Structure 1
Amino acid sequence: MHNDTIVALATPSGSGAIAVIRLSGKEAITIASTCFKSVSNKDLNKQATHTIHLGHIVEDNRTIDEVLVSVFKDPNSYTGENVIEISCHGSSYIQQEIIQLFLRKGCRMATAGEFTLRAFLNGKLDLSQAEAVADLISSDNEASHQIAMQQMRGGFSSEISKLREELLNFASLIELELDFAEEDVEFADRTQFKTLVERITFVLKRLIDSFAVGNVIKNGIPVAIVGEPNVGKSTLLNALLNEDRAIVSEIAGTTRDTIEDEISIGGIGFRFIDTAGIRETDDIVESIGIKKTFEKIEQSQVTIYLFDASKAIDLLEEVRIEIEKIRNKYPQKPLLVIANKIDKLEDLELAKMQSKIPEINLLSAKTGFGVEQLTNSLLSLINTGALRNNETIVTNSRHYDALLKAFEEIQKVQYGLETGLSGDLLAIDIRQALYHFGEITGEITNDDLLGNIFANFCIGK
């Protein structure tokens, strides 16, 4: 299946200035040479790798387009095979004409992620690096881009491979002991092995713990903005997004459904959800919106409770009770309490409010006062220390699952060492730990796993 020559559009579909069509396979250069007429009469088959050539794509006597053809010869290419990349004009018609021409010449349309799959099968990337390619393409903020780049350069896989190699060395010595069981000899130094297992345990714990940060960085952090009707939730959302995304009016209950949008703060993606105001109502449509508000609070990782400072100055006890209700219902979720419309209050009133609710954040969504402090407060909820220190952060749920399983097996090994378990039983747990390490980098894999991973790629990558 992976010995034929594949072709696909490597740039987004649709019209544009330039499009790139990619071929990969043993016959890629030969097939391309039959359709390419160089302006200087060059033969593509005789050109050096990593060179670019100007000419035309032709079929019989018909010229389809003037193009630049890039030549990459195996094994020095992305896929490890012969690769041709054709930069043509971005007309959808031209793209399809060139692709159809190569299909007639013997190429096959590439499936999703097949170029990267071939790179993995040919040893150009390990599996975690290949998955990082998809993460890099989908990264939409600085933090997710930084993590994907580090993983694609092999930071995560090299850490796992090093641990696996050291564990494998000890596993080999323990397996050797089994061959000399009758002589009752030990080739593996148990003290040294115990030190290694403790170090592996420490690294696995750090990687597993990093998933909590990595997952929110990769997928964005959902933040629900809640409060009574007409306290300025939509105005706050507009101030955060710096655009009129939500409808704002003096009529209570204007927002009857949730409105979502995402922005990057300090390189981290935050998805803000403007919800319908919480209040007792007989309006059926508004009631549905309020029900959705509580659903969004359930789904969010951070809740912003907003209230109108100008109207609540004499009702601070009621506000405090509402805050406690949310805290008690969602004790694990960070809650930011914000008094909006403070531009309408006097200094003495502000002081009274702060004495009653010490954790309060002051804000005027209309003027923008306090918005920067709010964004700083949001960032403080995320542990970005590992990101700043360029430590390995796990973002992939498949890797997380494999790390948990490896950690479980390593704990069994550690217990076996402490209790003097026999070498044959230790070997069983070590093999299982090695298996789960191998799952991450692709040293142990199967067709179903590869199919699931690469099906999520875009065609042409």
Structure 2
Amino acid sequence: MSFSLAERNDTIIALATPQGVGAIAVIRLSGQDAIKLTNEVFFGKNLEKQDSHTIHFGTIRDGEKVIDEVLVSLFIAPKSFTKENVVEISTHGSSYIINQVIKLFLKKGVRPAKAGEFTQRAFLNGQFDLAQAEAVADLIHADSEASHSAALSQMRGGFSGEIQVLREKLIHFASMIELELDFGEEDVEFASRTELQELVERLLRVVEELILSFDLGNVIKNGVPTVIAGKPNAGKSTLLNALLNEEKAIVSDIAGTTRDLIEDEINIGGVIFRFIDTAGLRETTDTIEAIGVSRTQEKMKTASLILYLFDLGDTDLVEINRDVNKLENLGVPFLKIANKLDKANPELVSELKSKYPDTIFISAGNKENLEGLKVKILELVNLDKFKTGNTIVTNVRHYDSLIKTRDSLLDILRGIDDQITNDFVAMDIRRSLHYLGEITGEITTDDLLANIFSKFCIGK
């Protein structure tokens, strides 16, 4: 989705609120003629003589026909989201009214906006950089406190600011080395190799920190894939239902009734957890159940967290030890959860408290100590870094560019150690600058922009 220069000068229109019948709808226009064209169909005040950031009551008419009574909000360039003239028309939420208003403007030569075109214009007009533009989409789709905070921080330039500081420092050294190339025959040094090495090492530490933050950022943005695993009848489905406060999974005394994966999302402490109730972990001769058990094992390998659940009235320490050893070999963080506390074998409880003091004791059926379980689940996610306001990488495109930046910075250090010529050092620095510039939009291609903004909703 690339735009020609002519298209960028068009006045565009789109419904900015969700499709469907509602109390009100907001229709957005952006472009040089947005206010002028609206004024031609608006009966009320003369919009071309009003101040920016004002709202006006009147009617939208097609000739003598009144389509609707509306409120018109004016944002005069450059004081608008797109830095162009922007009009937002609040109509009643009838789909008929919406269609009639949009058709009226289309007849006047206004073009329907493409997906993400308003935000793309804001980026192209210098309202914010590319990373901030992408954060707009993340903010719209944020479904938890954590994802909202991460998107808001990025949209306000937290991530971009950090990248920009790094890039400016590197640009200074690049310019000095380029200058040395101009005086190659005179053997002069404008950029100290020691200072360059120190800078690159500092940049590497920051870049590595940002790369490492992606695991947390991915969790914040997409949710924590969490598998509930254990023997059949350990109470996995009961636990899922208790956490969800609904009967999502079938609960039965018959072993092996959960034969497929059941997934749902739960918000715990502002973080989305994607809980997966699985078939039991056991050997089985039932062909269908065996498929479910196999899927359980595959899901456990890709999970970010495993809730290992066992029945205090129907499990011995030998079984628990065996399962714990298997889970430790997977390398995935897991919690040991002793269920059915009301039916517990006292001897087993004592043994568990001695050998596994971090065991969480609950009764899923009676909803006992579920809040304590939630606290322990949150502790394993490790949100401390996020809560202290550190920059978090949530976008896979940024992560990929940071990986490439790190590799280029390492090439600079190797070049300094090997005392390679200035032109090769300059080349490695330019590559680092290129990948950092891809994040914020100093370096872009039409294909990249098309890919990013095509994922936005129409009207944003």
TM range (shorter): over 0.9
Corresponding residue for residue 417 of structure 2: 418
Q: CA deviation at 1:174?
A: 0.9
Residue number in structure 1 paired with 2:428: 429
Find the partner of 2:96 among 87, 93, 96. 93
Deviation at 1:267, TM superposition (A): 1.7
- Distance across 2 between alignment mates of 1:46 and 1:259: 59
* Corresponding residue number in structure 2 for 1:29: 35
SS at match of 2:23: strand
1:348 Cα deviation (Å)? 4.2
1:223 aligns with 2:226: yes
| Count of aligned positions | 454
Contact persistence 2:31–2:84 (CA under 8 A): yes
Deviation for aligned residue 1:200: 1.0
2:17 to 8, 11, 20: 11
Q: Which residue of 2 aligns with 1:324?
A: 325
Q: Which residue of 2 aligns with 1:254?
A: 257
Offset of 1:373 from its aligned partner? 2.4
Q: 8 Å contact 1:8–1:459 — kept in the other structure?
A: yes
Superposed displacement of residue 306, structure 1: 1.1
Which consecutive residues of structure 2, in runs of 5 or more, have no partner in the other structure?
1-6
Match of 1:79 in 2: 82
TM-score by length of 2: 0.95
Distance in 2 (alpha carbons) for counterparts of 1:198 and 1:325: 40
| 2:301/2:332 contact within 8 Å kept | no
Amino acid across the alignment from 1:319: I
**Would the alpha carbon gap of residues 194 and 322 (structure 1) be closer, same or farther in structure 2, given more than 3 Å must change?**
closer
SS in structure 2 at match of 1:311: coil
- Counterparts of 1:123-138 in structure 2 under 5 Å? 123-138=126-141
**Alignment match, 1:382:** 381
CA contact (8 A) 2:233 2:255 kept: yes
Aligned ranges 1:401-416 → 2 under 5 Å = 401-416=400-415
State the Cα distance separating 1:255 from its structure 2 match.
2.2
- Deviation string 1:151-179 (CA, Å, 9 cap, x unpaired) is 00011111111111111111111111111
- Give the distance between the partners of 2:305 and 2:196, measured in 1 at CA: 43
Distance 2:356 2:77 in 1: 67
Change (3 A) 1:334 1:44: same
**How far off is 1:374 after superposition?**
1.8
Q: Which moved more, 1:91-100 or 1:5-14?
A: 91-100
Cα shift at 1:239: 1.7
- Post-superposition Cα deviations, 1:324-344, rounded to whole Å, max 9, x if no partner, equal 23433x2x2112221110111
Residues 57, 71 of structure 2: 8 Å contact kept: yes
1:399 deviates by 0.5
Cα distance in 2 for residues equivalent to 1:205 and 1:89: 51
Give 1:357 deviation, angstroms: 4.7
* Cα shift at 1:91: 1.3
Structure 1 distance, partners of 2:110, 2:453, is 20
Q: Indicate if the aligned counterparts of 1:129 and 1:154 stay in contact, CA closer than 8 A.
A: yes
1:18 Cα deviation (Å)?
1.2
The one-letter code sitting in structure 2 at the alignment partner of 1:338 is I
Partner-residue secondary structure (3-state), 1:381: helix
Q: 1:166 — aligned with what?
A: 169
| Distance in structure 2 (CA, Å) of the matches to 1:223 and 1:28 | 49
SS in structure 1 opposite 2:8? Answer: coil
Q: Partners of 1:311 and 1:350 in 2: how far apart? A: 12
Matched-pair contact (CA < 8 Å) for 1:402–1:437: yes
Secondary structure of 1:428 counterpart: helix
Stretches of 4+ aligned residues off by more than 6 angstroms:
none
Q: Map Cα deviations across residues 284-315 of structure 1 (whole Å, 9 max, x no partner).
A: 44333333322322332211121111112xx3
Q: Deviations over 1:31-88 (max 9, x none)?
A: 11111111xxx11112111111001111011111111101111111101111110111
Match of 1:198 in 2: 201
AA aligned opposite 1:316: L
CA contact (8 A) 1:175 1:427 kept: yes
Q: Is the 8 A contact 1:266 1:379 kept in 2?
A: yes
Q: Distance in 2 between matches of 1:348 and 1:325?
A: 24
Amino acid of the structure 1 residue aligned with 2:312:
A
Range moving further from structure 2, 140-149 or 295-304? 295-304
Is the CA contact (8 Å cut-off) linking 1:54 and 1:66 kept in structure 2?
Answer: yes
Amino acid at match of 1:436: Y
Return the match for 2:159 from 145, 156, 159: 156
- What's the counterpart of residue 58 of structure 1? 61
Q: Helix, strand or coil: the match of 1:451?
A: helix
**Structure 1 residue 316 displacement after superposition:** 2.3
Give distance in 2, aligned partners of 1:388 and 1:300.
Answer: 23
Cα shift at 1:380 = 1.7
Are 2:312 and 2:348, in contact at CA under 8 Å, matched by a contact in 1? Answer: no
Letter in 1 for 2:411: K
Is contact 2:313-2:345 (8 Å) kept? Answer: no
Q: Distance in 2 between matches of 1:187 and 1:346?
A: 77
- 2:291 is matched with 288
Whole-Å Cα distance in 2 between the matches of residues 431 and 69 of structure 1? Answer: 48
TM superposition shift of 1:369: 2.2
Quick one: distance in 1 between partners of 2:283 and 2:320? 16
1:283 Cα shift?
Answer: 4.0
Would you say 1:270 and 2:273 are equivalent positions? yes
Closer/same/farther in 2, CA of residues 346 and 298 from structure 1, 3 Å limit? closer
For 2:419 and 2:407, the matched residues in 1 are separated by 18
Helix, strand or coil at the partner of 1:186: coil
> Which stretch shows the higher mean deviation, 58-67 or 237-246?
237-246
Q: 1:361 maps to which residue?
A: 360
Question: What is the Cα deviation at residue 363 of structure 1?
Answer: 1.3
Structure 1 residues 28 and 367: CA distance shift in structure 2, 3 A = same
> CA offsets per residue over residues 104-163 of structure 1, 9 Å max, x none?
111111111010000011111100000000111111111111111110001111111111
In 2: Cα distance, 1:349 partner to 1:84 partner: 69
Is the Cα–Cα contact under 8 Å of residues 316 and 356 in structure 1 kept in the other structure?
no
- Indicate the residue corresponding to 2:178 in structure 1: 175
Measured on the aligned residues, the alpha-carbon RMSD in Å equals: 1.6
